[in-house]
Every structure is written in C-alpha cells, then in structure tokens.
Chain A
Amino acid sequence: MSAAQNPSKGAPLIEVKNLQRYFGAAAKPVRAVDDVSFSIQPGETLGLVGESGSGKSTIGRTLLRLIEATSGQVLYRGEDLGTASSGRMRALRSKLQMIFQDPYASLNPKMRVKDILGEALQVHGLAKGKEARDKRIAELLELVGLRAEHAGRYPHEFSGGQRQRIGVARALAVEPEFIVADEPLSALDVSIQAQVVNLLCDLRDRLSLTMLFISHDLDVVEYLCDRVVVLYLGRVMEVAPTAELFARPLHPYTQALLAASPKPDPELKNERIALKGDIPSPVNPPSGCVFRTRCPYAIEACSTARPELRDMGHSRFKACIRDDIPVPVAASPAPARMAA
C-alpha cells in the first residue's frame, strides 16, 4: 500500500510499514502508534499532523530508532533499520538526523557551540584535524545565519530562535539526507518562527534534503510540505498532497481539524464543525474507527471494523468507510501551490 501511496516513480528514501509502538504493560498497553504506513520520496517534505497523543512524535523518534518499534518496519533506501546492528545504526545516523522541539532542552548547557557541533563531526569522522573542524563549524554557523565568532559561546547566551538555529546546524553537521523536524517552531514566537521557516526552506532546497515535518500548526504545514499525513490516536486518517488536502479535505477528522484552526483574518468566517468531547484514551481506543466517538457522520458500521486506508485517486488516501460526506470548499479561491 505504501508504494501505491506515491505518485512519483522511483524508490522511496524512507518507507514505514505497519509501524506499531505500544508503551506500558503488555496486558493494557498505550497504543501510541498503531499500524502506521507511509513512505517519503527523495527530496520530499512530508508533513505529519495531529493533536497531542496522536503519536506524531513517537513516529518521528521510532523512525530514527531513538525508541524501538514494537512491530513493523522502517526502511531507509530499502535497508531495515530495525534489524541494523548498533555499529551500522551509528553509521546510518550521519544520514538520518533530527531537529527537536525545545531549543532550550536539546542543547547541553555545559558545552560551547563549537563542541556541540564538533562532537557530531568527531563521532562520524568528518572534518578531521582542528583546522578543518573549526572551518567546518564556521561554515555551519554561517549556513544557519549565525556568525563564526558565536562558536565560543554557550547555549544560554543565545535567544530561542538562535538556539533553534544551532539545533539545525547540529543536524546538518554530518551532511544528512533525511531530517525529522519534530515541532521545531512551537517554542518560538511568531516573528521568529518565520525566520526559522525560511531557513528550513532554504536549506532544504540548497542541500536537497528530505524531511519529515511534525507539527500541529496547519498553516505552517500547508506552507512547507509537499504531502501530509493526518494522524488521530496513533492511526492514519488521511494522506494527500498538501494543496488537495487543504482545498478538499476528505476525512471528517481532517475537515474538523481545518475548521477548528482559526484563520488570522476577521473577514473569513470559519464554518464550524464543532467536535464534541475529548480525544479517547489510547489505552482503551474505540472499536472500529478510533474517530467515530467524535465524528458527526458516524454510523453503526463504523464501530464494527477498522477502516482501511483506501485509495481515493489523485494520490489521496483516507481511512473512512463513508463516501457520501460533504466536502467543504476551501475559503481561498484556489489551492495555494497548485499553479507553482
């Protein structure tokens, strides 16, 4: 199914197959990620969206084996990361990197910037010798919009936005092919977010990076991503190219998510699809479709079988048994990136 999900030909860079990650006691596990499959083509930016508890961060971490999967596979260029030895995994990590959410917690406060960046170079045997290393560190800092003389400073001497730039520089130090960016903007103020979005866009284009962009901010996802996977309670609800997803959301959850996100324009009236109640507990998810308890279109059949992710044409997939759901028309006259 994951191969069919991609319109473009050629082998995917990352393939996730039936990924599961359960936490806690085997008798009553927290089903953080439950049978998730998708793939990412080289050069593609895939958005992973969902609310808290949807499993998006767990997926990001499982992809890089920062946590082990309970079952399922993650393939990088066809190689199964789950069975790779720790030595092999270490070598692969120079190709697979991560940018974390909190730029305050993800940098060691006792290390200078040059040591934070230098450690990554050293571990992977890049830029050997002090001179080469200093030169590379200066290069990296300039790449992310900082200055070479910042190398001697400690993390606390920087603002939040600058720290996130250091986090980006650290990920880029080892010349990765693939980056997982886990909510890299959510700890930043709006005016600083725009700077970091531009930085990520520039670097992605210059270094032809492939990216998994995890976020709950739908506006940024629409701006930055080629394709989007919508998660709810550890399962995939909908997969679609960005422009199509935002113009014509097919799944009731995607529709509700888009309607709930307030647009910064008082003239645009959000049509309201108010979802009742809270997200159910992942310890005891509803039978059948996990979204049915909050879904305005739920019918009897939704509780019996778990809906498969079905091919809806035009590279779109949805996990919903109903095809008679009205599709809201986007507020903007044309999808933003179609004409590009």
Chain B
Amino acid sequence: MNRLEVRHLSTFFDTDEGLIRSVADVSFSIRPGKTTALVGESGSGKSVTSLTLMRLLSRTASTQVSGEAMFTNRAGQTLDLLSLPEAGMRRIRGNEIAMIFQEPMTSLNPVFTVGEQIAESVRLHMGLDRAAALAHALRMLELVEIPAAAQRLNEYPHQLSGGMRQRVMIALAMACNPTLLIADEPTTALDVTIQAQILELMRRLQAETGMSILFITHNLGVVAHHADDVAVMYAGRIVEAAPVRELFAQPRHPYTQGLLACLPAQQRKRELAGGQVGANRRLYAIRGQVSSPLAPPPGCAFEPRCDLAIPLCREAMPALLAAGPNRAVRCIRVEETAIATVEAA
C-alpha cells in the first residue's frame, strides 16, 4: 500500500483579478520508503501542493481545495488529510508527517534556542517531560551530525551557518520519527558542497528509518540522483509521471523533453553521442514563457510553447493518460513524442 495517495487535488485562489488555479487535478502516490519528486518551475504549483497536503494554507473563503489525499499512518489506518478534523491533523503534522522548507533562517524561530524548538515538538507529540525532551533533542542533533551538539543545543538559529540551520530543520522534522517527510526545495538556498552534505544526510536517514519523502525541487540534477518516482508539473498540472530512470532516458511529454534538452549538460551528451562536438553551440531553448494564471490558454497549457502543437491541442486540456506501466503523460500526441525521442537519440 502506498504511503500517500493523492487523487484529483485542486487548490484554487479566488483573487480580485479572478480565479487562480494554482493546483488542478493533481494525482500522484508515494511508496513506503521511497522518494517521489515534484518537479517544476516557479509558479507550477509544486509548493502549493505541499502546503495543501499539510493543510498550511489559511482556510478562508478565497481558498478552494478539493480532491483527496489518502495517507496511511504507522498503525496502518488510511486517513484523508484533506477532510480530517483539525485536531486529527494536528496530531499528524510534525509527527507522522514532517516538513522542511527552503529557507532555514525564516523557518526557525529566532527567539528560541535550537534545543527548545526540537523539544517543543517531542513534548507535544510524545508526551515527554522537559528534561527528557531536551535529551531527545540532543540525540536528534547528533543524528544529523551537528558537531558539538551539546553546545549547539543552547544556541539560537542566528549563531548557525545555513547548512547547520538546515540540519537543525531536519533534526526538528525527524524528532518524532515521521513516516513521510515533505521537503520543499530543501537545498536551494545552499552552496553545492553543503547541498551534497544535506542530500547525503537525507538519504542516510531514509535508509535508516524507512520514511517516504516528497521532494519538491526545480533542480533536475538533484532529482536524477535522489528520487525514485518523478512527477513533472506545468501550470498547476502534472504533465508527466514516471520512474526516474525512465523519465530521464525517455521523456515523453514535450515539456519534459524541452526541460531536459535545455540543460547544458544534456547538450554536451548529445554532442558526444552525435560525434559533432561543438558543432552546434546553441542550447535548445523552450520558446516563450509560462502563460499568466489569470489567462490560461483554452486547451493544453503548454501548447503556446510546444513544437509539436497542432490545432486540436487548443480545443481541450488533454487528460493524463497511461503510457506504459507506471507512466502517465498529459499529451494528445504522445505516440509522436515517443518517435521524436527515438529519432533524437
């Protein structure tokens, strides 16, 4: 059974300018002990998806959420995160499902010590007393390999470097031994050598605890090495979902194909494969830009930028259809995209 099964999730915001469909009809699943990556560019709806799942969006009249998110907890019960009463959600949040954010400075409280912040969550969820909670916090800091953990326990976030703060965030998230970790661009604010440390740490913790990870990122390099399954989002919808190797080996949606093709590293690979090193110095580029969410195109959202677009693409939003086992593509020309990939390779 999957750890999380998201079905037809939609999040709309009713703004003064009009209805914004940030997340529309998103379905994906996360296997136990595995990592599913949500990939997309800014505005594609990946962060709103994670905030909706955690129910961290303010429930005002202007936010409209629909769909279901079936979560299987430690006891084996399956609960719908979107319809759970607030008290039930509070028992899950920070406990069974933990979250780490992009900006470790703004997501830690500057006026509490690192130890107090970790202890707060274990006192709440595990019912430990103050001393036991602090001892647990210390073990967590050691778990995430913070040097001189006993001393760091009493320090404030501003006394730590960016990489250390992200380690503290992970310690905080791991404190109650979650079964699902939602990581929203956890390494985007970090330098590459520090990013490598944090990714290695997350990989180790996943292997040790068997937790599932929902990894939200725009970095395809990170996805290639740290995800098991990938869902690519464009303008609020999943346009392609596949296991990681298949996605990189043979992307089927024109957007995924373009996204991979426009990376300089992929360009080099093509040049080497074609034996024409340096012959064509132009990078492949997806033309144009994402449409405004207030004025989406009538049919497929990617149609205005797509090289394979035909008049039919403008008529209706294509459905996300199965394209082989474990794969789905939202494109009416999916048969042609397979051929295009073969020719390019």
Contact = CB atoms under 8 A, between A and B. Distances in A.
Given A189-B42, A194-B262, A337-B278, A260 B286 contact: no
Interface in B207-233: 218-226
Contacts of A220: 264
Nearest to A54: B191
B340 interface: no
B65 interface: no
Contacts of B289: 159, 161-162, 192
A340 B282 CA distance: 14
Nearest to A333: B272
A61 interface: no
20 contacts: A51-B192, A51-B193, A189-B42, A189-B218, A190-B220, A190-B259, A191-B258, A194-B286, A223-B264, A262-B219, A264-B220, A264-B223, A264-B266, A265-B269, A266-B244, A267-B245, A267-B248, A272-B196, A275-B197, A334-B277
Contact of A265 (B164, B199, B226, B248): B248
B193 A264 contact: no
Interface residues of B, number: 52
Interface string A262-298: 1111111010101101110000000000000010000
A197 interface: yes
Interface in A101-134: none
B268 A222 contact: yes
Contacts of A52: 191
B224 A265 contact: yes
Contacts of B191: 51-52, 216, 279
Contacts of A305: none
Interface string B277-289: 1110111111101
Nearest to B44: A189
B248 A336 contact: no
B194 interface: yes
A332 B269 contact: yes
A261 interface: yes
Given A264-B248, A266-B244, A337 B41 contact: no
Nearest 8 CB-CB pairings of A with B: A340-B278, A262-B221, A194-B262, A223-B264, A51-B191, A189-B41, A260-B196, A194-B285
B224 A278 contact: no
A225 to B, nearest CB: 11
B341 interface: no
Interface of A: 51-52, 159, 161-162, 189-195, 197-198, 201, 216, 218-220, 222-224, 256-257, 259-268, 270, 272, 274-275, 277-279, 294, 332-334, 336-340
Given A190-B220, A260-B195, A198 B42 contact: no
A336 B42 contact: no
A263 B199 CA distance: 14
Contacts of B310: none
A266 B245 contact: yes
Interface in B177-204: 191-197, 199-200
Interface string B103-121: 0000000000000000000
B72 interface: no
Interface in B155-172: 161, 163-164
Q: Decide if the interface of chain B is mainly helix, strand, loop or mixed.
A: helix
A223 B278 contact: no
B120 to A, nearest CB: 26
B248 A256 contact: no
A51 B189 CA distance: 11
A262 B263 contact: no
B192 A278 contact: no
Most chain A CB atoms below 10 A, which of B41, B225, B260, B284: B225
Contacts of A338: 277
Contacts, number: 139
A249 to B, nearest CB: 14
Contacts of B221: 261-264
Nearest to A189: B41
A336 B268 contact: yes
Contact of A264 (B265, B272, B287): B265
Contact of B163 (A218, A224, A257, A278): A278
B267 interface: yes
A336 B287 CA distance: 25
Contacts of A193: 262
B285 A191 contact: yes
Residue in A51, A266, A267 whose Cβ sees the most chain B Cβ within 10 Å? A266
Given A257-B193, A267-B248, 4 more contacts: A190-B218, A197-B283, A260-B192, A264-B263
Contacts of A198: 282-283, 285
Contacts of A333: 272
Contacts of B224: 262-266, 268
B328 to A, nearest CB: 19
Nearest to A332: B272
B271 interface: yes
B36 to A, nearest CB: 15
Contacts of B163: 278
A301 to B, nearest CB: 24
Contact of B225 (A159, A197, A262): A262
A339 B278 contact: yes
Given A190-B220, A257-B193, A197 B264 contact: yes
Given A51-B193, A159-B289, A262-B222, A336 B244 contact: no
A278 B266 contact: no
Given A264-B220, A266-B248, A278-B164, A190 B262 contact: yes
Contacts of A270: 225
A172 B147 CA distance: 49
Contacts of B147: 277
B192 A261 contact: yes
Interface in B249-265: 249, 258-260, 262-265
Contacts of B284: 194
A253 to B, nearest CB: 9
B327 to A, nearest CB: 15
A46 to B, nearest CB: 17
Nearest to B39: A190
A278 B225 CA distance: 23
A297 to B, nearest CB: 15
